[in-house]
Amino acid sequence: MTDALMSRILIATDGSEKNRSALDEGIKIARAFGATVYVVYVIDVGTFSSMSADIPLGDTYRVFQTEADQAFARIKSQAGDVKVETSILEGHPAAEIVKFATKKKIDLIVIGTQGKKGLERLLLGSVAEEIIRSAPCKVLVVK
């Protein structure tokens, strides 16, 4: 295989509609370069510490798992012939995304500018900024 400019593209998703344009753009670029897409969904464990004690931890985790599965199914159906690998990560979103990108030798990270609001937020503008500052590769931020 030749050294392609972009052979491994990471798309970070939080399952929100606001993140849809980043998914679309990442798939478009992957298709153009014949790249493999790695889609990651990060469960922000910091969210658990700020939640009400009335909400069982297992139920919350299942909600995140279901949301990740739905986001993965959507992108796989949209990807067509583009090779897609999915991963659920746990931890601080920016740090986990950068760690994954380093480990997988990602050529491009595609992220949205904003994700969810409120308690469920996973990817935010501040997370995008942190990824831009510490990523081991190019980063495309999609509005």
pLDDT digits (tens, 9 = 90+) for 109-136: 999 876 555 433 444 468 888 999 999 9
pLDDT at residue 118 in the model: 47
- The answer to whether the predicted template modeling score (pTM) of the entire model surpasses 0.75 is yes
pLDDT at residue 112 in the model: 87
Q: Counting beta carbons within 10 angstroms of the beta carbon of residue 27, is it exposed (0 to 12), middle (13 to 18) or buried (19 or more)? A: buried
Contacting residues for 58 by C-beta, under 8 A, at least 6 apart: none
Class for domain 8-142, per CATH? Answer: alpha beta
Which residues, given as ranges, of the chain have pLDDT below 70? 1-4, 47-58, 114-125
Residues facing residue 39 across a β-bridge = 11, 86
